[in-house]
Structure 1
Amino acid sequence: MALTTLKERVQQRAAAVASGEDIRHDRAEEETPAGNGHDIEQYRADIEAALPKHVSVDQFLAALRPALPKLRKCTPASVLQSVITCARFGLVPDGQQAVITADDKIATFIATYEGYIELMWRSGLVKSVIAQLVYEGDEYEFVPTARAGEEFVHRPNILASKKDRKPLFAYAFAWLDGGARSNIAIITLEEAEEIRNEHSKAYQRAEANGEKNSLWHTRFDRMHLKTAVRRLAKLVPKSAELRALVAVEEAAEHGRPQVIAAIDPEVAALEADARRAHRAAEASQDVPAARLPVKQRGRAKRRRRHRDKNKKR
């Protein structure tokens, strides 16, 4: 199957979505052994065509094969589309840059915080990114009103065991092209838990079915860091590819095929911006009307006194 054929099919599905048809993965699709290495080998040419030149198909497939047994119960279509999506971003599914995980029989591509940093760096607009967790016992100081570059200090206690200490917050900042430094993105532990509970469909499903096998269950610290890095992505210059990555992960959360967004990053980014603007417009209608200004009685009395004095004169 050529990549062009896949792209044409995906574009047809995207057109169906645009026309109002609800396109979702069919979880009742017949299960096939998607974890078989021979099954993924037949798409080697498609994967190689999707990958950027700096990532070899052998490197990509070597990282992918250990994850395939966990995807046996996933629909074959979702396995293929998650693999192609990962390849389109040039991220290796080795657990460091990206993972492909099973979510309710749907294979899903998820970038790690290192994957986000890789795309920031690849844009040429960001020179380096620092992302860390601050634990109990660390020294830190945050003074937002201080001069840029001096408002935040973190001195980790590198000799203390992290197993016995609770993370307090995650932070991330970037050094930009030209020497400037971005603002600092900070996510407290409480905020990370709220984001997980309210916005992660995978976490909610894993809690409901009792398996507790989502990335928020198995890699909480890394997901905490990723949340900080995703907030940082809003504070630095963004490439179309980085914006498309956000759109791809949002698609997974809402049950839409990820590969649609990955095929054309610029279009996906524009569509994601349009959806966010639409949600913001709807939310603004729920804001209560502002109160009318109240007359100040004290001033009115002073005016009357002033008029009384004039009459006496």
Structure 2
Amino acid sequence: MTILVIAEHDNASIKSVTLNTVAAAAMLATFTSADVHVLVAGHDARGAADAAARIAGVSKVLLADAPQLADGLAENVEATVLTIANCYSHILAPASAYGKNVAPRIAAKLDVAQISDITAVDSPDTFERPIYAGNAIATVQLLDPIKVITVRSTGFDPASPEGGGASVETIDTTADAGNSRFVSREVTKLDRPELTSAKIIVSGGRGLASGENYTKVLEPLANKLNAALGASRAAVDAGYVPNDYQVGQTGKIVAPQLYIAVGISGAIQHLAGMKDSKVIVAINKDEEAPIFSVADYGIVGDLFDAIPDFVAALA
């Protein structure tokens, strides 16, 4: 049994979610002493392949390098994976936008079931995944000969990015599928950590009342803590911040060391995206707010008084 991890990368480096996916593969490998291979599909992607080779627990890196793979178009990545799929018992991808785009196509072409968003490995064919917005955990058994899986990054501690010494092998690529083309990409440049990989997140909700208040109140605290900024869906829908900030079932799933929820009531959809955070601090004037049910520390009070006090204490 050999396990394949499809790496998410930018052709120069490996995205952090790949480390969590490798960790899941390594846990799976402990049941049968399997090898873990990583596929880097891109263009001029030797840097990413070398980075993947240094990940602890990886025994081989497969580099598929071609112009049609430069932008990660799902159709071309899927076609490349299918050329080697029969060599593997498990194919894993991060449960990110990239992985969710590629994995279902692979499963469909292989005519096998896919299991999404696993958070635990019970055996080589049995996995756990959250359902009902994380309020229940389903244990799912896959009987297909090749198991296609996406991995929720918050369910697994990342593998070490250093310490491995895997070989890098170049493999053949398929021709451009031709049914999609890359047009453009708009990348948001942040002066603070990325939301999904930040160790500290400060999130704001509808209680902030406006986008101006969101910036005025939360940014000083985030700057002091070197934290990422997040938001509830209510804050995003109200136009306080862009959609990129949204944490929750329909946004980004995060599990930082510290999550500070400011003016967030704690609707079930939001809790599904952050309740695995190591320490949760909630600030809300409603003492019955659901957010307090998952908080390690809670402050019942006016956020417009509490946050400036926080910032002053950190000075």
- Pairwise same-fold verdict (TM > 0.5): no
- The structure with the largest alpha-carbon Rg is 1
Q: Which has the higher helix share?
A: 1
TM superposition score normalised by structure 2:
0.24
TM superposition score normalised by structure 1:
0.24
Q: Which has the higher strand share?
A: 2
